[in-house]
Amino acid sequence: MQKIIVSTLFACMATITTAQIPLVYQQENMGRHLAKTRLLPPEQLPFIRTLPDALEGVSHFADWEWRRNVISSQIQHYGIGEKPEVSTEQIEARMDGDTLIVDVTVNGQTLTLRSVIHYPETEEPAPYALMIGTSMISLPFQLFAGRPIALMTYHEKQVNDYGQWGEHHERGEHDFDRLYPALKDNGAYSEWAWGLSRLLDGLQKLGPDVTKIDMSRIGVTGCSYAGKMALYCGAFDERVALTIAQEPGGGGAAAWRASHESTKRVEDLDKTDYHWFLESQKEYFHGDSVYRLPYDQHELCAMVCPRALLLLGNPDYEWLADESMRVSAEAAAKVWERFGIADRMGWSIVGGHGHCQLPESQWPEVQAFIDRFLLGRDVDTSNVRK
């Protein structure tokens, strides 16, 4: 695969120091100006038994934007479907009290997103950091209490009404499909990532004087299927400074290849919810055909780089495939390590607790990531790898 264009933003940064590597960006999809990646038909893809090299073609940090864009294109094309771009002119935003309201108008159709911002009780002045929960925030409230961090829930059913439980519409019948009828085959994770980005558009367009939110200190978190959602949302929007994926399971951080080879009952590419992914993913990459997949989930994790990522696991639940997530985590970490920023990525896999119920033993690790990457405090995050 040949690199064609290097970002003008990073072209002079081959000798960039670690301290100069950004913690977050002000724009979604920094690679939009790069040449399109050539994507082969699935039957022409080579078999790759080991995890693909996330750093293929990368010599310097200046190369990472190009490589990240390659990975993004592959995941959308073969795995989840397209996350379409939206211009500023297609966004209208307002605050109704503490509720953020964002109208997205595409092809003459409007989709409205609403989320209440819960502002912190603190003497520290606005603007505040913001932690967004995909579907909900399952992290203990104590991790945020007394800190200048606002909280908000992203209600993913406002984008497509698919949820893990209850009745729902099928592909082609979602609100997202009204705006993008040509993308009716999309999986939910591309659509949900699109929706969270539109909330960030609204916050950005209104500005901190109106929203009281600091756009350089945005976090996203979720657990289980919403942990996958948080990971995709953070990976696909560079305005997210901190991504915490809690017990995301197969299709989140767990490597598809490792889960395919597991002797345990885990969520693998053949056994997952295909409302979440392109149905063609299973058609082309089922069974041993998984080795034709040109990427794996460690590269989804790596897309967060150089921003901060924390993966949380629970080995008591075999289905979550945490052994495969550890494989991904160790492979993805090499990207942060290459750029000398290994302390921006960590993982903690601890049992002895219920699903999505973070034990107190893990609180200090999560707190460290929140304090450093949302509040800018001088906290050591270099040893969160277990």
Give the catalytic positions in this structure.
224, 355
Q: Are 321 and 268 in contact (CB under 8 A)?
A: yes
Q: Distances from the Cα of 78 to the Cαs of 33, 188, 283, 324, in angstroms?
A: 21, 14, 11, 20
Residue 253 to residue 243: CA distance in whole angstroms: 12
Secondary structure element (H or E) that encloses residue 40, with its range:
none
- Distance CA(282)–CA(72), nearest Å, equals 19
Retrieve residue 96's tokens: 């109704």
Place of tokens 């705006």: 179
The CB density around residue 229, as the number of other CB atoms within 10 Å, is: 29
Give CA separation, 64 vs 10, 192, 266, 292, in Å: 9, 25, 32, 23
d(Cα 331, Cα 88) in Å, to the nearest integer? Answer: 36
CB atoms inside a 10 Å sphere around CB 357: 12
